[in-house]
Structure 1
Amino acid sequence: MKQLLLASGNAGKLKELTLALADFDYSLQPQPKDSAYHVAETGTTFVENAIIKARHAAGLSGLPTLADDSGLIVPSLNGEPGVYSARYAGDDANDKDNNAKLLKALHNSQQRQAYFYCCLVLMQQADDPAPVIAEGRWYGEICLQPSGDGGFGYDPLFYLPDLKCTAAQLPADEKSRLSHRGQAVQNLKQLLAHNKQS
């Protein structure tokens, strides 16, 4: 089993990706708690930021590296919070702050459709000329108040009409299967399987 570094210090992402990659032929390792691994996410898209993170961490570690950049997109807010999802309410904001800002931005709005987007980038080494890029989208809407204590980020506000619950109310294994990150992982596996065959 090959080691695969996760270019993130986010415990929620590590937990979800470890669960999603349980049958994968890599052993997922969190990146070291070393300030050298922090890199400015200067891209204007999720894809750009994921590539920046994967290349930086692969260069430092010498390991194949998986980077995830993901967030919430609300079309009626011109795509906000978008690439700024984790710091929507400021650089030192926590999930509660970000959720409060989102609810305020949508106050009295009837246009509450939203989707989570995830981009996964797998680089074999820092100068990998052909990284594997996979994406996933999970559609729902923003409810009026938080509900549920599972997940992280905007999960308590992300309502799934078909399931009649928020992402934070889903069991972890079901969320892992349905979510934007789960979809991106499945797409990643398909791409890697195709690469092996070609």
Structure 2
Amino acid sequence: MSSNMEIIVATNNAGKIKEIKKILEPIGIKALSLDDINLDIDVVEDRDTLEGNAEKKATEIMEIVGKPVLADDSGLFVDALDGRPGVYSKRYAGGDSHQGNLKLLAELEGVPEEKRTAHFKSVICLAFPGESVLLAEGKLEGLIQHEEKGSNGFGYDPIFYLPQRGITLAEASNETKNQISHRALALEKLKETLLDRL
């Protein structure tokens, strides 16, 4: 594996691309979005695990482009709700972030502080043509608070409280997020694995 590798990232989310570039470019890996290669594709995420969805996205696109492809899937797992919304986090309230937060808060009505524990989990898959896939995961522990706070985030970030920092994930700076987020942790693990192979 050469250290001037190009990988395709299975997203057009500018924030995600920026975060991935920041972590992988220092080790000589160039990350390109689907837009960069003019590929318009929407892989159906129909597996029942984050690992399954990430691997499906990475391998399906890798088979089309013939280059290494990185894909991720993330979810919020709430202990008091038996791990829901989990793998269905994006589709929890028809894909509307604000409605998803309201639905979650309604389901946690009356649940005491100490039982509102939750974690974000991100699984990243890197698929290489003709080789096995690499998987890495990252977790961020927190609590679900009672209302939305903060505007620097999306999805469940405004209700995901970080007790050690006294803020929600949506109140954290981009710099902080890039250090502690579940995706950043998974990317760091993937980077270590790649460094061993370069």
Give TM-score scaled by structure 1 length: 0.89
Alignment of 1:8 onto 2:30: no
Cross-structure match for 1:46: 50
Sequence identity (%)? 37
Cross-structure match for 1:175: 177
Measure how far apart 1:121 and its partner are: 0.6
Q: Of 66, 73, 76, which residue of structure 1 is paired with 2:70?
A: 66
Cross-structure match for 2:104: 102
Cross-structure match for 2:147: 145
Cross-structure match for 1:112: 116
Q: Of 8, 15, 20, which residue of structure 2 is paired with 1:17?
A: 20
Q: Deviations over 1:72-131 (max 9, x none)?
A: 1001111111111111012xx221121111111111112210000010111112x53x21
Residue type at the aligned position of 1:50: A
Cross-structure match for 2:191: 189
Given that residues 12 and 152 in structure 1 are in contact (C-alpha distance below 8 angstroms), is that contact kept between their aligned partners in structure 2? no
Deviates more, 1:157-166 or 1:3-12: 3-12
Residue type at the aligned position of 2:176: E
Which runs of 5 or more structure 2 residues have no equivalent in the other structure? Answer: none
Distance 1:103-1:18 versus aligned 2 partners, 3 A rule:
farther
Residue type at the aligned position of 1:41: E
* CA root-mean-square deviation: 1.6
**Superposed structure 1 runs of 4+ greater than 4 Å apart:** none
Q: Deviations over 1:133-186 (max 9, x none)?
A: 111000001111111111221111110001000111111011111111111011
Rounded to whole Å, the distance in 1 between the matches of 2:60 and 2:186 is 21
Distance 1:107-1:12 versus aligned 2 partners, 3 A rule:
farther
Residue type at the aligned position of 1:134: A
